[in-house]
Amino acid sequence: MKAIQYDRPESWALVDLPTPEPGRGEVLIKVLRAGVCGTDRHLHVGEFGPSYPLTPGHEFAGEVVLTGDGVESIRAGQRVVVDNCVQCGECEFCRRHMANFCENTIAQGVNAQGGFAEYIVAREGRCFVVDDLDLDTAVLAEPTACVVHGLDQLAVAPGSRVLSFGAGPTGLILAQLLARHGACDLTVAAPTAFKLEHAREAGAQHTVQIDRTDPAATTRQLAEICPGGFDVVIDATGAVAVLDEAIGLTRSGGTVFVYGMTEENARWTVPPYEIFRRELTIKGSFAQTYSFDRALLLLRNGQVDPAGLITHRFSLDEYGAALEMSGRSECIKAVIQPHG
């Protein structure tokens, strides 16, 4: 089979690998869609704990073509999405029901084979049947699950005024769910006009186009929308410059939510006296656990609308172009279709 394979950071090739065979309790999946994520750009440069040789791709949907011994809940011909992380269940964090911090996690697309390949093997228990969803909807299950986990962490109080920076795929899914679950007044700030139109359609009451040449003007505009400060300020960009503005835009007693993934060596200067004096809360959200079933329910009942989120499509041999495009302003979501 064809697959993308890295042997070290920034060094990858389209290679021929043996098609994997499912073991007991596993299924072989023909990958039909694989989303390109910001995490993949971090993995490209060696961040986020990759193991080599690595086939990335942690957001994927496909068709089961073969089942291993003992598989009972899934049959060949069904379409599935996969929760790509398997926790050990035995380390200190797993025993404390904190599986997101499992010390022995196997994460397909990070330290195990991922979905930027024609075929992939996955455990039966990590698969969710999605025969009722079209592939462009199903492939959004993993990023939607990450948003669900983020909202679990954030626990937005009903009636909150929320500012969210960023209108990428997860930022827009986040906007959709914030508008339906807690945020009675939602502002989305991003640099790209057409993405802000998606945010308005998602339910944002206010949108602000960030002026990268004059960030102070953007901050003033946001402060005018909510003079007393927002109850919650979310960074879904991973940009330290955005986080630098967040505390000043948060009301006393409010919350700053670090949702976007920064570079691993990035540093954010937080004024401790401000946290102390104004009783601010800083929260983070990492990946997801126990969220896939709810993510699929949200996609099935229309509370997450996938329309327009996938803007670019690539084949496996266009992986480099897909990775590059996923970081450009004209792209919301890029997907790879390994079989054309």
Rounded (5°) CA angle 228-169-211: 50
Given a cut of 70, the residues of the chain with pLDDT beneath it are none
The phi, psi pair for 149, rounded to 5°, reads: -60, -40
Quickly tell me which residue has 């060949």 as its tokens.
76
Class of the CATH-defined domain 145-284: alpha beta
**Alpha carbons 121 and 80: distance in angstroms, whole number:** 12
Buried/exposed 165-204: b ≥16 CB within 10 Å, e otherwise: bbbbbbbbbbbbbbbeebbebbbbbbbbeebbebbeebeb
Quickly tell me which residue has 């196997």 as its tokens.
106
Tokens at 169, concatenated: 């795929």
- Per-residue confidence (pLDDT) for residue 212, from 0 to 100: 85
- Per-residue confidence (pLDDT) for residue 316, from 0 to 100: 98
- Per-residue confidence (pLDDT) for residue 14, from 0 to 100: 98
Other residues' Cβ atoms within 10 Å of the Cβ of residue 215: 14
Instruction: Enumerate the CATH 3.40.50.720 domain ranges in the chain, comma separated.
Output: 145-284
The CATH number that domain 2-140+306-336 falls under is: 3.90.180.10
- Per-residue confidence (pLDDT) for residue 340, from 0 to 100: 86
- Per-residue confidence (pLDDT) for residue 124, from 0 to 100: 98
- Per-residue confidence (pLDDT) for residue 215, from 0 to 100: 87
Rounded (5°) CA angle 24-25-28: 90
Q: What is the pLDDT of residues 186-213, one digit of tens each?
A: 999 999 999 999 999 999 999 999 998 8
Q: What is the dihedral of CA 323, 326, 328, 333, to 10 degrees?
A: 160
- Per-residue confidence (pLDDT) for residue 213, from 0 to 100: 87
Instruction: Enumerate the CATH 3.90.180.10 domain ranges in the chain, comma separated.
Output: 2-140+306-336
The contacts of residue 54 (CB under 8 Å, 6+ apart) are 5, 6, 43, 110, 111, 114
The answer to whether 195 and 332 have CB atoms below 8 angstroms apart is yes
In what side-by-side order are the strands of the sheet with 281-284? 206-209, 183-190, 160-165, 230-235, 250-258, 281-284
Half-sphere exposure of 125 (CA within 13 A, CB side): 7
